[in-house]
Structure 1
Amino acid sequence: MTDQNSLAAPLRSWVEKTLGPLTAVRRLPNGSSPAAVWHVVRGSDNAQLHLKTAPSPEAFTRETFAYRHAVPALGPGNAPCLVATSARHLAMILTALPGAPLSQAWLSENALQTVHWRAGALVAELHQAGRPTPTARREASAFVSRLADAAVRDADAAGDQLSSAERKFVIALADHLRVLDRLPLGFVHGGGIEAGLRWSGGARPTLQDFDRARFAPVVVDFVHLAHGLWAERPLVRAAFFDGYGRALGAEEQQALRCLTGLHAVRALADSTYGDRAAARTVLDRLKSEVGV
């Protein structure tokens, strides 16, 4: 049986050539990202670091771009820092930040609102980081349309979990999404802000896992929260956008509603993508709003 805490010899050789001898290596549980991550300790000074191997060259390129060109805008201590990279190994060495996923924290309503206010401010900094090239801007503008195109495949894959009326409802959401063409663009986290936020006590969260980061309509970063926590905690949602610095525009609100419905269908179609019970609740709520 392979030791999950061990590193392949070529990868370990690169890490130790970069950092010096390691005194500890521990594989971390899989999180929101499909990447493999190890907690490593450098022997010379006991520095705590993370070694991350991307699942694909595209993910490696996205994440290293994010750490070099966008993440520094978040400020010291608000996200990991990039220490070294190896395109050959699709590997990154990052500083390790304390804490656990914010979604796992047990916080009072007031504390949760405070943390989400600060999270909103953090996400605003990310969204405003950098300026897209003309090519990136064209790709960003087409991103939501690609999500709409995927909705038909997801509805087919959901099979009998959707009634005929529900399938028509989902296709209508996708069609409406395609005509929303004035959505503000920015540099998005892309992997679900809720999953990327970490908390270690106090009021300041941190943000990590940028392997899906890209330029896109900023509203895509709010879908996971709208699908889950915000549905039951409207004051937490209000605190987030207070920290974010603006409310969503009318077209963004429509897009978020459509994207939340499409996310629910994707979760119904693929149990590894999300919670099917929660997805059914979300879809039923959206249907009731329009009388389907």
Structure 2
Amino acid sequence: MSSTKPLPAALQRWAEQRIGPVVSVRDASHDWDRSRVWDLEGERRVHHYLKVSPSVTFFTRESRAYHRIVPALGHTRAPHLIDSRAQDMALLLTAVPGAPAKELGLNTTQWRTVHQQAGALCARLHEAAPLDPADRVEAEASLSAAADGTEKHLARAGDRLDHDEQQLIRDHAARLRRVGPVPVGYIHGDNQPRNWLWSTSGLALIDFERSRPAAYVQDLVILATTQWADHPDRETAFRRSYGRELSDAERHALRCLTALDAVNCLAWGPDNGDAEVTARGRRTLDRLMKEDRS
């Protein structure tokens, strides 16, 4: 982490009014400028997290998630919201046990178990609450909205893609608009091992700021382009516990979405110095190009 971010005194006072005296504060932010998260330790070594959202949109999404869908995961399977402070876009959360799965050096069997539990939690999240009418409209338009962003990402990526690669992306965006109806609801929005906490208690999901109404299959894109690309056994474990097979339309949509994810990664990654995201985009695009030529 490049620098430690101090917790504003007003937010610590607000938190202490709800959870009691704070003995120590640890900056638990991700290593990017807009991430602001603190681990608050209380007198009896009870920990809570205070998060300041990076935008009104993220604060609104995460607040809705903690009220509407996160409770369905269960007491130890996700943080729970203690209180929020809209003027500061602040959320005060319980802590759940574990560390991000991607940091733990898990073996093959452990990874399968993690994906098995992730599939079950993902299904529980997707089934947690019915969409209200406005959210249903947004969810049913989510695939078209993803396709709508294609030209913006292509322009930003520029010459990082050659002509044939750009055409492949445009073709997949056009196909995405034609896949037909797919199941929709509330999704996590950033469903991947950095947001999966693993411990002896099992798996917990965190970080719901990208939760939104969308096609369920959009929650599988990052997994398909990272974890599952080299480890089909992990995909099998996830899907078995997810509880249903993807429809033909969903499988078609997932392939199209991986193409759009690739150009997004190649637009965002280099501009933000993120080698991991850049490599993800390049690898996905190379794979799709190879498959289209075969």
What TM-score bracket applies, with the shorter chain setting the length? Answer: over 0.9
User: What does residue 216 of structure 2 align with?
Assistant: 218
Q: How much has 1:279 moved relative to structure 2?
A: 1.7
Q: Is the 8 A contact 2:5 2:36 kept in 1?
A: no
The corresponding residue for 2:21 is 21
For the pair 1:146 / 2:145, whether they are aligned, the reply is yes
Residue number in structure 1 paired with 2:241: 243
Which deviates more from structure 2 when the two are superposed, residues 67-76 or residues 4-13?
A: 4-13
Q: Distance in 2 between matches of 1:147 and 1:51?
A: 31
Contact 2:52–2:88 (Cα < 8 Å) also in 1: yes
Q: Deviations over 1:104-147 (max 9, x none)?
A: 22222222112211110010000001011111100111112111
Aligned to 1:176: 175
Give the secondary-structure state (helix, strand or coil) at the position aligned to 1:165: helix
CA positional deviation for 1:192: 3.0
Q: Distance in 1 between matches of 2:84 and 2:62?
A: 11
- The size of the alignment, in residue pairs, is 289
**Paired position in structure 1 for 2:281:** 279
* Contact 1:223–1:259 under 8 Å retained in 2: yes
Secondary structure of 1:107's counterpart equals: coil
Conserved? CA contact 1:32–1:196, under 8 Å: no
Partner of 2:57: 58
Contact 2:53 2:59 in 1 (8 A): yes
Partner of 1:118: 117
Q: Which TM-score applies when normalising by structure 2?
A: 0.92
What CA distance in whole angstroms lies between the structure 2 residues aligned with 1:175 and 1:33?
Answer: 35
> What does residue 7 of structure 2 align with?
7
SS in 1 for 2:209: coil
C-alpha distance in structure 2 between counterparts of 1:33 and 1:173, whole Å: 33
Q: 1:291 — aligned with what?
A: 293
SS at match of 1:179: coil
Taking the aligned partners of 2:185 and 2:133, their CA distance within structure 1 comes to 13
CA distance in 2, matches of 1:188, 1:65: 12
Please give the residue correspondences for 1:90-109 in structure 2 after superposition, counting only pairs within 5 Å. 90-109=89-108
Q: Which moved more, 1:154-163 or 1:228-237?
A: 154-163
Q: Which moved more, 1:155-164 or 1:232-241?
A: 155-164
| Identity level (%) | 39
Shift of 1:17: 2.2
| TM-fit CA distance, 1:193 | 3.3
CA distance in 2, matches of 1:32, 1:122: 27
2:206 to 208, 225, 235: 208
Does the CA-based 8 Å contact 2:29-2:35 persist in structure 1? Answer: no
- Equivalent-residue separation in structure 2 for 1:172 and 1:288 (angstroms): 15
1:37 is paired with a residue whose SS is strand
Q: What amino acid does structure 1 have at the position aligned with 2:260?
A: L
Q: Which is worse superposed, 95-104 or 268-277?
A: 268-277
Q: CA RMSD in A?
A: 2.0
Partners in 1 of 2:56 and 2:266 — Cα distance?
A: 29
Per-residue deviation, 1:47: 1.6
CA distance in 2, matches of 1:240, 1:71: 19
Quick one: distance in 1 between partners of 2:132 and 2:93?
27
Unpaired stretches in structure 2, ≥5 consecutive residues: none
Structure 1 residues 140, 32: CA separation in 2 closer, same or farther (over 3 Å shift)?
farther
Task: Check conservation: 1:116, 1:240, Cα contact below 8 A.
Answer: yes
Deviations 1:209-267 (A, max 9, x none): 00111121000111111110100001110110001001211111111111111111111
- Aligned partners of 1:69 and 1:130 also within 8 Å: yes
* SS in structure 2 at match of 1:88: helix
Please report the TM-score for the alignment, with normalisation by the length of structure 1.
Answer: 0.93
| Counterpart code for 2:102 | S
- The one-letter code matched in structure 2 to 1:279 is G
CA distance in 2, matches of 1:129, 1:138: 18
Aligned to 2:163: 164
